[in-house]
Amino acid sequence: MDRIRIRGGTPLKGTIRISGAKNAALPLMTASLLTDETLTLSRLPELADIKTLSTLLGQHGVHITPNGHAPEGGPTGRVMDFTTKAVTNTTAPYDLVRKMRASILVLGPLAARCGEARVSLPGGCAIGARPVDLHLTGLEQLGAEIELDGGYVIARAPNGLTGGRVVFPKVSVGATENLMMAAALAKGETALINAAREPEVTDLGECLIAMGAEIEGLGTDSIMIQGKDRLHGAHHAVVADRIETGTFAMAAAITGGDVVLQDTRLDLVEAMKGLLTEAGVEFEPVDGGFRVSRRNGPLVGADVMTEPFPGFPTDLQAQYMALMTVAEGASMITETIFENRFMHVPELARMGANINIHGRSALVRGVRRLTGAPVMATDLRASVSLVLAGLAAEGETVLNRVYHLDRGYERVEQKLAGCGAEIERIRG
């Protein structure tokens, strides 16, 4: 298993190009199940999760073929064609779904196009129970019959789905996406109330519109969809990865560096920008991105609570905690989206961080310096928080279980090394 070795202490300086968003790419790929024409997606990141979903889609009958690379000078990423002339199999099996929870996103498109879907329940996950009840009750509102059998969810709508009113009791990114895709092929109008407003949901909605769907209210908590008999092919470029953007902004901040983040947008990370500004980090818009630096004075502690978009994202909580471990003063970090999302805390503590957990909050008291250590992580964002800590720590940090990192960060060590970080992958 690969490991990553870091020698900390070098301020990052240079330019990092941000990839297309993993969390937008995954639902966009499943949207290809909604049409028999070709959906071309550009700016796809090369990540383990993208490969896992490609394998799953392949066994549903989606033909995936490369369509070249992005043009020189533009955003990086691959261009791929997704063509589903016919859905050959409506079952998403356990051995693929268990690798990645986002596989549940095939449920809505399969039920809408085929009138039937059989998807394994994703099962437990390292960051909490993460149920899929909102996806299922939503589909029921669109007329599907839902049955659980042998660990599988079976959704049936032999005469097709019909539009309905879905009021989510809780904001869910995945359920909003699943329902939006299902409603695009349902008969009549669907209203999604208390819908997620995340940029990845909006990106999916814009792609569906390019495929012929009629959708209003993207980016608000009420999304209205007029169902269509069929959707057609389209070309769509994946939105910039705001979590990768935020992660590298914090990498610049924790090392006292000065970095330009290219091919991304400040408006995707407004909440983080506000918080980091309070903590002493500077932001400056530049053409095609922004510059982030910490040149004047120390980091200072600032409290935060994770919230659905436009609030501060749970997917940046671990990275922010790493940043706060070396800030002056204390900060209270409260996780409201997922239970059990503090698994990075004992590992950060092994590097000298002073953190106390009280229920859903962690009190971080800044220390003067972290010291390198062998560490390992149990999920994607926790892994990268340890990379950030390693970049700031004295001495050597070795991160084990790098496969978590590879699920969601494209060439992370190359991007950081390009800004002067002493970081390398040890194959094995």
The residues carrying an active-site annotation are 125
Of 18, 9, 20, residue with least CA distance to 236: 20
Backbone angles phi, psi at 151, to 5 degrees: 85, 5
Shortest distance, CB of residue 163 to ligand UD1, whole angstroms?
A: 20
Residues making contact with ligand UD1 (CB under 6 A): 23, 26, 101-102, 130-135, 170, 172-175, 200, 313-315, 337-338
Whole-angstrom distance between the N-terminal and C-terminal Cα of the chain?
Answer: 5
Q: What is the amino acid identity at position 268?
A: L
Tell how strand 116-120 and strand 152-156 pair up.
Answer: antiparallel
Q: Are 228 and 185 in contact (CB under 8 A)?
A: yes
Shortest distance, CB of residue 304 to ligand UD1, whole angstroms?
A: 15
Helix H or strand E segment including 199: helix 199-210
* Residue closer to ligand UD1 (CB basis): 76 or 172: 172
Shortest distance, CB of residue 280 to ligand UD1, whole angstroms?
A: 26
The residue nearest ligand UD1 at its CB is 174
Shortest distance, CB of residue 234 to ligand UD1, whole angstroms?
A: 21
Shortest distance, CB of residue 66 to ligand UD1, whole angstroms?
A: 23
Q: What is the largest CA-CA distance in the chain?
A: 65
Of 318, 322, 327, residue with least CA distance to 367: 327
Distance CA 32, CA 344 (A): 36
Q: Are 193 and 134 in contact (CB under 8 A)?
A: no
Shortest distance, CB of residue 37 to ligand UD1, whole angstroms?
A: 25
How many residues are present in the chain?
A: 428
Backbone angles phi, psi at 418, to 5 degrees: -65, -15
In a 3-state reduction of DSSP, which class is residue 361? strand
Of 52, 385, 66, 391, residue with least CA distance to 252: 391
How crowded is the C-beta side of 8, counted as CA atoms within 13 Å?
25
